[in-house]
Amino acid sequence: MKIRVPATTANLGPGFDSFGLALTMYLELEVLEETKEWEIEHELDNIPRDETNLIIKTATHVCPNLSPHHLKMTTDIPTARGLGSSSSAIVAGIELANQLGHLNLSKEKIVEIATEVEGHPDNVAPAILGGFVVANKIEEHIYYTQHNFPECELIIAIPNYELLTSASRQVLPERLTYEYAVEASSIANVALSSLLSGNLEQACFLMEQDKWHEPFRAALVPELKRIREEKNQLGFYTALLSGAGPTILILCPKESLVKTKNFIKEKFKTFDIQHVRVQSTGVEIV
Ligand code: HSE
């Protein structure tokens, strides 16, 4: 059995901790034979291979009496880059418990457990459900809606440096004024209504006006400003911080895809540039 979980890009500008989009990059977890102790085979540095691995920890948290198995993980989701790598591990762990423990968990229950482990739903919810998901958590309940995302090309530009979500959250202010919050929330509301009504250009303009997180994180990812300055020249719709960064998500029409990719390749030689699509199904058994 193989569990496949998509990468995700969270926030999309003003949807801080609540907007998320599943992308066509994957973590795959193959479940092999039963063993005495849990073990997980993979090719990454600094990721545990025993029961302290996040996938196994999550699976045994969900179902403590699972029999240990030999697992094999492969992933194209880089760690600490703002593409939901920890969420993909959490979702893989819950699905592992679901399958091995025959728990028959609903997607709704998986979203609830994954949000409890991750703390916020914006990466885990689209990784479970696929597509564009808007979600929040009030006490123990997760409220969410799932949508189609407007037709456009998606480029992700992945820097060769890591940025831990914890470090990227530390630069956020503890308090904002009422006036500031009202303005930030109005931007988010109209950005979302524009996305849902298919007005992509207006949505992208508003997404770039985010006041919840990007202004505070700008200094951590200086390349974002540099890329945005080329927007009119290259003809893309917008460039946004993917999750907590440092990856930059670019939305563009077909005509500007090659020009934009080439510009980033040329100016930021160490970046990994990928053309991805929206993944519409979320976690799957393949
Ligand atoms: N919404 C989260 C953040 C996503 O921006 O900190 C990263 O996990």
CA distance 137 to 135: 7
Q: Whose CA is nearest to atom 6 of ligand 1?
A: 244
pLDDT value, residue 140? 85
Q: Is 67 annotated as a binding residue?
A: no
- Residue of 123, 134, 216 with the most ligand 1 atoms within 8 Å of its CB, for mutation: 123
Distance 10 CA to ligand 1 centre (A): 6
Distance 224 CA to ligand 1 centre (A): 17
Q: Is 256 annotated as a binding residue?
A: no
Q: Is 14 annotated as a binding residue?
A: no
Distance 244 CA to ligand 1 centre (A): 5
pLDDT value, residue 46? 87
Nearest ligand 1 atom, CA 82: 7
Identify whether the C-beta of residue 86 lies closer than 8 Å to the C-beta of residue 78: no
pLDDT value, residue 163? 96
Q: Is 82 annotated as a binding residue?
A: yes
CA distance 176 to 150: 32
Residues of the chain with pLDDT under 50: none
Distance 68 CA to ligand 1 centre (A): 32
161 half-sphere exposure, CB direction, 13 A CA radius: 9
Residue 246, preceding peptide bond in cis (omega within 30° of 0) = yes
- Residue of 12, 17, 88, 117 with the most ligand 1 atoms within 8 Å of its CB, for mutation: 17
Q: Is 253 annotated as a binding residue?
A: no
Distance 120 CA to ligand 1 centre (A): 8
82 torsion bin: left (phi>0), alpha (psi -120 to 50), beta (else): left
Q: What is the pTM of this model?
A: 0.96
Average of per-residue pLDDT values in the chain: 97
Q: Whose CA is nearest to atom 5 of ligand 1?
A: 244
Apex 12 CA angle, 128 and 284, nearest 5 = 15
166 torsion bin: left (phi>0), alpha (psi -120 to 50), beta (else): alpha
Distance 225 CA to ligand 1 centre (A): 19
Q: Is 103 annotated as a binding residue?
A: no
Distance 16 CA to ligand 1 centre (A): 7
The helix (run of H) or strand (run of E) holding residue 24 is strand 15-34
Ligand 1 binding residues, C-beta < 6 A: 10-11, 16-17, 120, 122-123, 165, 168-169, 213, 243-244
Beta bridge partners of 145: 134
- Residue of 122, 210, 217, 247 with the most ligand 1 atoms within 8 Å of its CB, for mutation: 122
